[in-house]
Amino acid sequence: MTLPQRPLPTLLLTLLLAAGCGQSDSPPPTTLDTGGPDVEGDAGGEGDVDAQPDRVVADILFPTETFVVQLDTILRPEAQAVNAAGEELDVRVSFESSDPAVMEISSAGIAVGRAPGAVTLTARAGEVQKEWPARVVSAPVASVDVVPANYTLRLGEAVEYVAVARDAGDVVIDDAGQPTWTTTDMGVASIDTRGIARALSVGTVEVVATIEGVEGRATLEIVEAPVDAVAISPRNAPAIYPLGSFELDAMALDEEGDPMPWVQLSWASSDTSVANVDDGVVTGVAPGRAMISASVGDIVDEVEIEVIFSVQEVFAGEGAGCVISGEQLYCFGQNSQGQLGVGDLNERLAPVRLGYGPGLRDVSLGGGHGCLVNAAGELYCWGRNDYGQVGRPGQTTELSPQRVDGRTYLAVSAGAEHTCAVEDTGDIYCWGRNDERQAGHSGASANIPRKVGGGHDFVLVAAGSRHSCGVTSDDFAYCWGANDRGQLGDGTTTATPSEVPAFISGGYTFAYLEAGEDFSCGLSPSGLPVCWGAGERGQIGNNATADVNVPRTLALPVGSGLSALTVGRDHACGLFAGQALCWGAFEDGRLGRALSDDQSSPQAASFAQRFVQIDAGDGVTCGWTEDLEIFCWGQAPGAGAVPAAVVFEDY
């Protein structure tokens, strides 16, 4: 509601001043009126006001934001008491000044302007007390000038306004109150409490300053600033992988080189088959080069982006292979057991993206199933699950990767029909087939991971067919499971399997170790290769075919050694100066040579490719070269003794 303020007649002013400003012999009241039933005009009735909620004062309303009195004049401040429902009450409101030397309130409730300045009036009615800003001015504000009166800004610029108060005689009032500021469209131009206006969008607004209830206005026009250039950063953009991404920044600049962040830019790629761009975020599509541009109108800047192909590691399993490329996992080959993890049972000749990167800790392919550990240590498995080797109940094939449990893992090894993984605590957990205690416990086969005993601090695990092995943080190796072929490497051969990890005899230490079908091979920290277990296919590589129950060094060609070693189901391979040397079962060209018999010692492959890394699976070996070419030989996804190239068709 709006309450009028009425100046009192001159005669009444004189009488009130005499009565309420020290000229009366009667002392002023010692207490303030509380608005109770004894107040004049209160429509009382009997009983306490508190018993009548509709008569209880809940708020006090003021007619203006600031109460203003001219110097040496009087004015009665008026306010309205209301109840909780907002209904007006016939209750007197009393006032008290924070500084009577500036504004005095007489006992009759009249305000007197004694000196220019600001005070606070405290209004009271009933139990309610509320403050009202007040001022004494030398003259009332009649008009307000806003300077500059007419102005033009370019987008993004700012200007400071000043408000000047004038009296009826057009004289500047120096002691007028501070202005409040706004514009008629704050989306076109905003203005703060200091009077600084900023151009936000093209258009025209009025800048409004209000002093003591009087408005002044000025016109402000916002125009588009001419763009002189566009600048993209960084200039030397990093190379990215397919499906990798990074963000470019771009800014429009005016003729003085100042940024114009309000200008919307358009982004484009010169070759969307190589890279796409969306609001500055560039995403690789396939290897190649493309120009990424940012523009406004015909003003353009551009940078060249290179999308590169990379290989970090390859893996071979049963009829299938996988590769980490661009820090993402891709798989290819046969898929009748779901071993690709791509969501169906269809064969894939070209790699298909599973993802799960970047930062994959480990990947392993076994006998019809596979597993991975991502950067967070989460373990996922997929594929054949008839013994629970995928870690899921139901013994049904899992067509896509499934989380195994809630532990955090460092490494994983998928065996023929069981799986083992190293937890970040150094414990090994195994699950799946356990008829030979290859899962490290005496119970039945199960999908639930169970901890292998022994209390060792493991960093690596190798799951074979009927046995498993692990390497500890101090490079010692232990094996458990079947031992009828000397698989445990502890110098014994027995038909009774053991779930207790047995220490490999001979005092050997290991930097790396893998397990196949009833045999294992490993490399010492100094690069010494040894194998033990079943040897009838020559897989021990010691130029013999007998089983051995302790590690035996390989019969390598004169002048050669091994920088890497990998074990398949019944064959093994290593690298010497990038060349593949293989031994064991010969079928399907898995040794990299056209042979008619097994090989009991490492033999150089017949092809010319030199590899950075290789991995052996079930009758197949895959590797990648320094030219980032991927090849497999042997059974599928290989094609015999001649390496078959694995070619990406999509990323």
Same domain, 383 and 529: yes
Q: Name beta bridge partners: 324.
A: 313, 329
What is the CATH number for 197?
2.60.40.10
Give the pLDDT of residue 622: 97
Two tokens, residue 640:
């015999």
Q: Is 423 part of any domain?
A: yes
Same domain, 217 and 289: no
Q: Is 2 part of any domain?
A: no
Outline where DSSP puts E strands in 263-389.
266-269, 275-278, 281-284, 288-296, 299-307, 313-316, 320-325, 328-333, 348-355, 362-365, 369-373, 379-383
- Is residue 289 helix, strand or coil? strand
Same domain, 379 and 509: yes
Give the domain-ending residue among 114, 137, 160.
137
Q: Is 164 part of any domain?
A: yes
Domain of 293 in residue numbering reads as 229-307
Same domain, 382 and 509: yes
Inter-residue contact 261 to 249 (CB < 8 Å):
no
Inter-residue contact 602 to 557 (CB < 8 Å):
yes
- pLDDT of 221-249, one tens digit each? 999 888 999 999 999 999 999 988 999 99
Two tokens, residue 616:
């052996």
Q: How many CB atoms lie within 10 A of CB 8?
A: 15
Give the pLDDT of residue 35: 38
How far apart are alpha carbons 592 and 152 in whole angstroms?
80
Give the domain-ending residue among 102, 137, 172.
137
Give the pLDDT of residue 77: 94
- Long-range Cβ pairs for the range 6-11 (8 Å, 24+): 6/76, 6/78, 7/73, 7/74, 7/75, 8/74, 8/75, 8/76, 8/110
What is the CATH number for 78?
2.60.40.1080
Give the pLDDT of residue 23: 37
Q: Name beta bridge partners: 316.
A: 321
How far apart are alpha carbons 11 and 16 in whole angstroms?
9
Give the pLDDT of residue 53: 73
The bridge status of strand 428-432 relative to strand 418-423 is antiparallel
Inter-residue contact 585 to 594 (CB < 8 Å):
no
Same domain, 638 and 611: yes
Same domain, 217 and 325: no
DSSP string, 403-443: E--S--EEEEEE-SSEEEEEETTS-EEEEE--TTSTTSSSS
Same domain, 337 and 477: yes
Q: Is 166 part of any domain?
A: yes
Please give the angle made by the CA atoms of 402, 407 and 411, to the nearest 5 degrees: 80
Same domain, 116 and 40: yes
Same domain, 426 and 486: yes
The bridge status of strand 630-634 relative to strand 348-355 is unpaired
Q: Is 3 part of any domain?
A: no
The end-to-end CA distance of the chain, in Å, is 70
Q: Is 4 part of any domain?
A: no
Nearest in space to 545 (alpha carbons), one of 595, 597, 600: 600
Give the pLDDT of residue 25: 35
pTM for the model stands at 0.67
Give the pLDDT of residue 230: 97
Distance set, CA 508 to CA 298, 324, 562, 564 (Å): 71, 32, 17, 17
| DSSP secondary structure letter of residue 587 | G
Domain count, the chain: 4
| DSSP secondary structure letter of residue 52 | -
Q: Is 415 part of any domain?
A: yes
Q: Is 651 part of any domain?
A: no
Nearest in space to 193 (alpha carbons), one of 201, 185, 184, 182: 182
How far apart are alpha carbons 389 and 181 in whole angstroms?
73
pLDDT averaged per 10 residues, the chain (length 651): 39 38 36 36 41 84 91 92 94 95 91 93 95 90 95 91 92 88 96 95 96 94 92 94 93 92 94 97 95 96 96 97 95 97 96 94 97 98 97 95 97 98 98 98 95 96 98 97 98 97 94 98 93 97 97 88 94 96 96 96 95 97 96 93 93 85
How far apart are alpha carbons 597 and 577 in whole angstroms?
26
Type of residue at 441: H
Give the pLDDT of residue 40: 36
Same domain, 152 and 32: no
Same domain, 162 and 80: no
Give the domain-ending residue among 260, 284, 307.
307
Same domain, 549 and 587: yes
